[in-house]
Structure 1
Amino acid sequence: MRLNDPLVTYFTYKGTEYELNMAFDNILDVFDRLEDKELTNRRKARRCLKLLLPNQEIPQSIDEIVELWNYIYENFILFKEKEPITYDRKGNPMPVPKDEEDDKRHIDLEQDAEYIYASFLQAYNINLYEQQGSMHWYEFKALLNGLPSNTIMQRIIQIRAWKPSKHDTAKHKEEMRELQRKHAIHDIEREEVE
């Protein structure tokens, strides 16, 4: 997301211009389709395209459907975080240690929906139900990532990310572990369209 670029509502792919419905609630519907275990990956791709490209003709070939879906997902939906590069004194990039905690998710858009709603209302006075169909996915993600620490969603993220330290009392550790159990993300298999 760049502030000097307009929000994406159109794109051109292989010479065809498409109108793209990037309303945050539509993207959440896309995520629901991706989690539907009864659909094949190809059907998921087709249904996602129908949501994202309403009233538009989508390709007929399965390969073209999957190719177009992957292009949209990778370029407009998926957010790739860029890690800052640190350099040593000689200007060489420093290796980045791999922490298994980095792979843990601390938020689930479906499971945490009520907390996200309450946090948006508390922090920004934004009613997400009133924003359905109008708030762009990029706006939603930016506001979600920028929630202040005093919101319920940020508190839950802090609980999920907490690790005990040697300075914590036994009582505090037990309280935090209990909160982590209470607010744990229920792991659901996430499938990617191949």
Structure 2
Amino acid sequence: MRLNDPLVTSFEYDGKEYAIDLAFDNVLDVFDVLNDELLRDYEKAEICLILLFGEQPFDEAITIDLWNHVYESFIYIENEQPIEYDLKGNPLPVQHEEQKQLIDLDKDAEYIFASFQQAYGMNLYQEQGSLHWHEFQSLLQGLPDDTIMKRIIQIRQWEPSKGESTEYKQSMRKLQKIYALDDDDQEEVE
């Protein structure tokens, strides 16, 4: 995202101009389609394009390529690691460790809603159809530490360290089980 570029509402692909609706709720619908295990890849691509472009005829020959372009260019947002430097100013090698998933847009929906309300005074239901996906992502990444979603992220990424009391470690492990994204580890909260 660049602040001197306008938010994407249209783009050109293969010589044709496409209007695209990247409202955050629309993109969340796209993720629902992508997670549907009953659909074939081509069907997923076609449905996603219809969600984003509206009903229009798509050339079957480019449907998959068009979808891949849209996903890679406008939906997928890579969280780049900042480049670290040694004392001489040389870039350090990048560690390609698998990052633990800290947010699930579906499972954490109520916490995200509450955090946006708390931090920005923003009701996400009222923003449906207008808040752009890139704006949503930026606001989500920039949530203040005192919001419930940020606190849950801190709980999920917590690892015990020397000097923490046994009670604190037990409390944090219990919270990690409560807020776990893996259904096998998640406990019911009463």
TM-score by length of 1: 0.89
TM-aligned CA distance change 1:94 to 1:187, over 3 Å: farther
TM-aligned CA distance change 1:70 to 1:187, over 3 Å: farther
TM-aligned CA distance change 1:123 to 1:90, over 3 Å: closer
Does the residue aligned with 1:158 lie in a helix, a strand or coil?
Answer: helix
Contact 1:120–1:126, Cα closer than 8 Å, also in 2: yes
Shift of 1:40: 1.0
**Aligned counterpart, 1:12:** 12
**Aligned counterpart, 2:60:** 60
**Aligned counterpart, 1:192:** none
**Aligned counterpart, 2:46:** 46
Pick 1 or 2: higher relative contact order, CA cutoff 8 A, min separation 6: 1
The more displaced of 49-58 and 30-39 is: 49-58
**Aligned counterpart, 2:32:** 32
Shift of 1:94: 1.5
**Aligned counterpart, 2:179:** 183
Equivalent of 1:77, from 70, 75, 78? 75
For residues 33 and 25 of structure 1, the distance between their equivalents in structure 2, rounded to whole angstroms, comes to 13
**Aligned counterpart, 1:129:** 125
For residues 97 and 30 of structure 1, the distance between their equivalents in structure 2, rounded to whole angstroms, comes to 31
Shift of 1:87: 3.6
For residues 160 and 84 of structure 1, the distance between their equivalents in structure 2, rounded to whole angstroms, comes to 21
**Aligned counterpart, 1:97:** 95
For residues 154 and 162 of structure 1, the distance between their equivalents in structure 2, rounded to whole angstroms, comes to 12
* Root mean square deviation, CA, Å: 1.6
The one-character-per-residue Cα deviations of 1:92-111 (angstroms, maximum 9, x if unpaired) are 432123444xx111000000
Equivalent of 1:138, from 109, 134, 140? 134
Letter in structure 2 aligned against 1:122:
Q
Share of identical aligned residues, percent? 55
TM-aligned CA distance change 1:91 to 1:151, over 3 Å: closer
For residues 125 and 86 of structure 1, the distance between their equivalents in structure 2, rounded to whole angstroms, comes to 35
**Aligned counterpart, 2:115:** 119
Give matches, 1:148-187, under 5 Å.
148-186=144-182
TM-aligned CA distance change 1:89 to 1:171, over 3 Å: closer
For residues 174 and 90 of structure 1, the distance between their equivalents in structure 2, rounded to whole angstroms, comes to 42
The more displaced of 83-92 and 163-172 is: 83-92
TM-aligned CA distance change 1:99 to 1:165, over 3 Å: farther
Shift of 1:90: 5.5
For residues 100 and 165 of structure 2, the distance between their equivalents in structure 1, rounded to whole angstroms, comes to 25
**Aligned counterpart, 1:22:** 22
Shift of 1:187: 6.0
For residues 182 and 95 of structure 2, the distance between their equivalents in structure 1, rounded to whole angstroms, comes to 27
Contact 1:18–1:56, Cα closer than 8 Å, also in 2: no
